[in-house]
């Protein structure tokens, strides 16, 4: 019996298993017969609104029972084992089109990532129906219109990324309902209006970035209630008003980025309570007052940027307590007093910018103990005294700028020997002595400006062989010697400025090897001989100034191969011969100065091709012939047209009246004849002119611009009259005869009366007298 009972039990168990399998198979086929589930249908509807150029969504098959195997779709199961879409990741698929309102049907969705596509139009309000959303990434698309207020219904949302779109309008007040929100990134849009005070409700918010928008109004004081906030970034907006003192409540704040707004008032002392701060960036605002000494309490501060404001007063010595600071920038303010020696206590300091203030006194020698210092800029102040010698031993110094002060003494001669200098600017001081020869020892120097000092000697070979050099600026010193031909081996050199020195000798033909050269400024030296034709090889040359030297010979036509020239100054030399007509090929030329040479021949009509020209100076030469009418085509000529002190003849072309922007017209001391053209009435911008010492005739045109000119502008033209010279004398043959006729009529009446009184003889005598 026991055996039979066991047999029945085993048989019942087998039947149960078969029944379970049957039910499972039945359920499977029932589901199969129903086709794609509802969430799959929602997804297909969403797909119809998308452009899928690269067919990323090709496996979205409407014949599938669920979308769980589709690209970008991940599913989970509910308590009754029903598959539901948990995440949708279509990031970086080059999708276009719009996001369908059907997205609201995915109520189980926790993650939606559509970032880095080209989706446009508005974010559908139905996004608020995705009530399970935790992460929403819509960044880097082209979404427009306003942020839908319905987004405030997403109570589980922790991450909202909508940056790099074209969203506009204000932040909705409902955003304050996102009680779980930790990250709100909305930068680089067109969001406008004031920040809602409801932001203060976001107790879990750690990062809020909305820079590069059009936000206005004040930073709400309620921001102080965001007790978890670590990153607050609102740079590049139009925020106004003072910094709210409530910011001092943000004990977890690490980054405060508010640069390039219109914030005003004082820097709140309460900021010093934010002792977790690592970066404080308040630059490019309208902040006033002094730098609070309490900022010295920010012991974790790494970067302190307060530049480009209107701060005044002295630099607090307490800033020296910022022992973890690496970068401090107080430049472009109105700070006064001396540089505090306490800054030398910040051992990790790599960048110190104090330029463009009103600082006085000497450079503290203690700053030379900052072994990690890489960039130091104290330019545009009133600093005096010597450059401390200790700077030459700093091994990390890459940028050293002290220009526009009143520093004296010599440049430390070992500067550059131990540091990888790449920028050195000590210009506009009173430094003496020689250029240190080790500046490029570490082969990194790209910019050297020692101009406007009292330096002497020759350019050391360490500079002329510095292969990394890009700009060499030594203007306004007393350097001697010839132009080093080795400079032309520096393939990166784009600027050579050696003007106002005592260089002499010829310009070496090797100058043509400086193929990267864009600026060549050699004015006010003693260069001699002819200009080398090889300059024509400098295809990138934009500025060439060789004025005030003793160069001779003809202007080489090859120079006009430099088609990029914008400014060409050959004035005050001894050039002879004709001006090559090739000058008309310099289509980019804006300034041409050829004055005070010995140039002769006719002025090339091709000058009329230089349509970008704003100033033309050709005075003090021996040009002959007529003024080319083609000059009237120089519609951009504004500063001056100077053809004075030449041997020009003929009439002034009426076409010059087309140069309506011209401010100064100088034609004096030539042999010009004829009348001043009436077309000069068009010269409405004219501020000065000079027609003196010519052979001009006729009346000066009655024009307001000419009537107001000094008499000296018209003198020594024997036939010129009117205007500032006074009234023209009438011609005897025309203007005087009517007067004589009238006078004769009156006298005739007298004659008749006399004749009647004293007889015919007397009458004959009187008539003879009158006739004579």
Q: Which of 454, 418, 405 is nearest to 433 (CA)?
A: 454
- In the predicted model, what is the mean pLDDT of residues 84-91? 96
Cβ-contact 701, 682 below 8 angstroms: no
d(Cα 299, Cα 160) in Å, to the nearest integer? 32
User: Which H or E run includes 8?
Assistant: helix 2-34
pLDDT at 221: 96
- Name the DSSP letter for residue 328: E
- Name the DSSP letter for residue 734: I
- In the predicted model, what is the mean pLDDT of residues 701-707? 82
- In the predicted model, what is the mean pLDDT of residues 469-482? 98
pLDDT at 759 over 70: no
Q: What are phi and psi of 136, to 5 degrees?
A: -130, 110
Backbone Cα Rg of the chain: 42
Provide the token pair at 266. Answer: 């004082």
Q: Which of 338, 288, 326 is nearest to 308 (CA)?
A: 288
Q: Between the CA of residue 737 and those of 309, 662, 730, 733, 743, what are the distances in Å?
A: 78, 43, 11, 6, 10
d(Cα 106, Cα 88) in Å, to the nearest integer? 10
pLDDT at 406 over 80: yes
356-404 pLDDT, tens digit per residue, is 999 999 999 999 999 999 999 999 999 999 999 999 999 999 999 999 9
- In the predicted model, what is the mean pLDDT of residues 175-197? 98
pLDDT at 704: 80
pLDDT at 66 over 50: yes
pTM for this prediction: 0.85
User: SS3 string of 660-700?
Assistant: CCCCEEECCCCEEEECCCHHHHHCCCCCEEECCCCEEEEEC
Q: Which of 255, 99, 244, 239 is nearest to 165 (CA)?
A: 99
| Those residues with Cβ within 8 angstroms of residue 5's Cβ, 6 or more apart along the chain or in another chain | none
Interstrand relation of 550-554 and 142-144 (parallel, antiparallel or unpaired)? unpaired
- In the predicted model, what is the mean pLDDT of residues 341-350? 98
- In the predicted model, what is the mean pLDDT of residues 240-253? 97
pLDDT at 80: 81
Provide the token pair at 579. Answer: 């001006």
Count of CB atoms situated within 10 Å of the CB of 17: 10
Count of CB atoms situated within 10 Å of the CB of 687: 13
Q: Between the CA of residue 524 and those of 477, 527, 676, what are the distances in Å?
A: 11, 9, 37
d(Cα 154, Cα 180) in Å, to the nearest integer? 9
Cβ-contact 766, 755 below 8 angstroms: yes
pLDDT at 150 over 80: yes
HSE value, Cβ hemisphere, 13 Å, CA-based, for 461: 0
d(Cα 120, Cα 96) in Å, to the nearest integer? 7
Q: Which of 670, 708, 665 is nearest to 683 (CA)?
A: 665
Tokens 């309620």 sit on residue:
222
- In the predicted model, what is the mean pLDDT of residues 119-148? 97
pLDDT at 732: 43
pLDDT at 21: 38
572-605 pLDDT, tens digit per residue, is 999 999 999 999 999 999 999 999 999 999 999 9
pLDDT at 78: 82
pLDDT at 723: 84
14-52 pLDDT, tens digit per residue, is 444 444 434 333 333 333 435 899 999 999 999 999 999
Count of CB atoms situated within 10 Å of the CB of 772: 5
Instruction: Work out the angle between the directed axes of helices 737-758 and 760-771 (0-180°, nearest 10).
Output: 170
pLDDT at 762: 31
The pLDDT mean for the chain works out to 90
Interstrand relation of 640-642 and 615-617 (parallel, antiparallel or unpaired)? parallel
pLDDT at 730: 55
407-429 pLDDT, tens digit per residue, is 999 999 999 999 999 999 999 99
pLDDT at 673: 96
d(Cα 40, Cα 70) in Å, to the nearest integer? 9
pLDDT at 86 over 60: yes
pLDDT at 656 over 50: yes
What percent of the chain lies above the pLDDT cut of 90?
86
pLDDT at 522 over 60: yes
pLDDT at 243: 96
Cβ-contact 173, 151 below 8 angstroms: no
pLDDT at 729: 64
pLDDT at 299 over 70: yes
pLDDT, greater one: 746 or 467: 467
Tokens 């030379």 sit on residue:
368
Q: How confident is the model at residue 115 (pLDDT cuts 50, 70, 90)?
A: very high
Strand partners, 185: 161, 209
483-521 pLDDT, tens digit per residue, is 999 998 999 999 999 999 999 999 999 999 999 999 999
């Amino acid at each position: 019996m026991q055996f039979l009972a066991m047999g029945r039990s085993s048989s019942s168990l087998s039947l149960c298993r078969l029944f379970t399998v049957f039910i499972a198979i039945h359920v499977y086929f029932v589901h199969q017969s129903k086709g794609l589930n509802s969430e799959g249908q929602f997804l297909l509807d969403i797909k119809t609104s998308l452009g899928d150029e690269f067919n990323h969504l090709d496996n979205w098959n409407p014949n599938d029972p669920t979308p769980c195997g589709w690209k970008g779709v991940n599913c989970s199961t509910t308590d009754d084992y029903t598959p539901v879409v948990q995440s949708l990741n279509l990031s970086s698929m080059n999708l276009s089109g719009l996001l369908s309102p059907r997205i609201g049907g995915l109520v189980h969705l926790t993650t939606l990532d559509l970032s880095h596509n080209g989706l446009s139009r508005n974010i559908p309000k139905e996004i608020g129906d995705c009530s399970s959303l935790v992460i929403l990434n819509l960044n880097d698309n082209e979404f427009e219109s306003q942020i839908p207020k319905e987004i405030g219904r997403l109570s589980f949302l922790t991450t909202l990324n909508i940056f790099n779109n074209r969203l506009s309008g204000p932040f909705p007040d409902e955003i304050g309902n996102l009680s779980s929100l930790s990250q709100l990134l909305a930068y680089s849009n067109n969001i406008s209006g004031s920040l809602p005070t409801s932001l203060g409700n976001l107790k879990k918010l750690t990062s809020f970035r909305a820079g590069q928008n059009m936000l206005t109004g004040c930073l709400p004081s309620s921001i102080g209630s965001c007790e978890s906030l670590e990153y607050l970034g609102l740079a590049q907006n139009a925020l106004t008003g003072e910094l709210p003192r409530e910011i001092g409540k943000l004990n977890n704040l690490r980054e405060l980025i508010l640069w390039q707004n219109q914030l005003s008032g004082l820097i709140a002392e309460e900021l010093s309570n934010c002792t977790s701060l690592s970066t404080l960036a308040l630059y490019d605002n309208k902040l006033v007052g002094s730098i609070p000494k309490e900022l010295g309490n920010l012991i974790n501060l790494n970067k302190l940027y307060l530049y480009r404001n209107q701060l005044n007063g002295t630099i607090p010595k307490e800033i020296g307590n910022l022992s973890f600071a690496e970068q401090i920038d107080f430049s472009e303010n109105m700070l006064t007093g001396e540089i505090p020696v306490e800054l030398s206590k910040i051992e990790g300091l790599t960048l110190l910018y104090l330029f463009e203030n009103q600082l006085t006194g000497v450079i503290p020698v203690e700053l030379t103990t900052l072994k990690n210092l890489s960039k130091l800029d104290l330019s545009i102040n009133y600093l005096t005294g010597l450059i401390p010698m200790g700077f030459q031993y700093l091994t990390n110094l890459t940028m050293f700028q002290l220009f526009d002060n009143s520093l004296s003494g010599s440049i430390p001669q070992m500067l550059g020997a131990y540091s990888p200098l790449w920028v050195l600017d000590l210009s506009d001081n009173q430094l003496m002595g020689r250029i240190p020869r080790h500046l490029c020892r570490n082969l990194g120097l790209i910019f050297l400006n020692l101009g406007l000092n009292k330096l002497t000697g020759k350019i050391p070979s360490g500079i002329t062989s510095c292969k990394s050099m890009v700009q060499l600026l030594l203007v306004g010193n007393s350097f001697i010697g010839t132009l080093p031909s080795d400079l032309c081996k520096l393939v990166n050199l784009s600027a050579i400025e050696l003007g106002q020195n005592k260089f002499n000798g010829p310009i070496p033909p090797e100058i043509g090897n400086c193929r990267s050269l864009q600026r060549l400024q050699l004015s006010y030296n003693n260069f001699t001989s002819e200009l080398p034709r090889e300059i024509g090889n400098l295809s990138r040359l934009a500025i060439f100034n060789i004025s005030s030297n003793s160069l001779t010979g003809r202007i080489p036509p090859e120079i006009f191969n430099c088609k990029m020239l914008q400014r060409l100054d050959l004035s005050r030399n001894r050039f002879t011969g004709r001006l090559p007509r090739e000058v008309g090929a310099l289509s980019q030329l804006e300034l041409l100065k050829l004055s005070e040479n010995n140039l002769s021949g006719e002025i090339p009509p091709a000058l009329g091709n230089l349509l970008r020209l704003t100033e033309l100076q050709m005075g003090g030469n021996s040009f002959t012939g007529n003024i080319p009418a083609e000059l009237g085509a120089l519609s951009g000529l504004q500063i001056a047209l100077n053809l004075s002190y030449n041997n020009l003849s003929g009439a002034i072309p009426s076409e010059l009246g087309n140069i309506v922007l011209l401010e100064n017209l100088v034609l004096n001391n030539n042999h010009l004849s004829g009348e001043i053209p009436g077309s000069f009435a068009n010269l409405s911008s004219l501020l000065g002119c000079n027609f003196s010492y010519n052979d001009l005739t006729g009346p000066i045109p009655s024009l307001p611009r000419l009537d107001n000119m000094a008499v000296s502008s018209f003198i020594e033209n024997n036939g010129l009259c009117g205007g500032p010279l006074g009234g023209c004398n009438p011609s005897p043959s025309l203007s005087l005869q009517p007067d004589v006729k009238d006078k004769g009529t009156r006298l005739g009446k007298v004659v008749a009366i006399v004749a009647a009184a004293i007889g015919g003889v007397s009458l004959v005598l009187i008539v003879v007298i009158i006739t004579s």
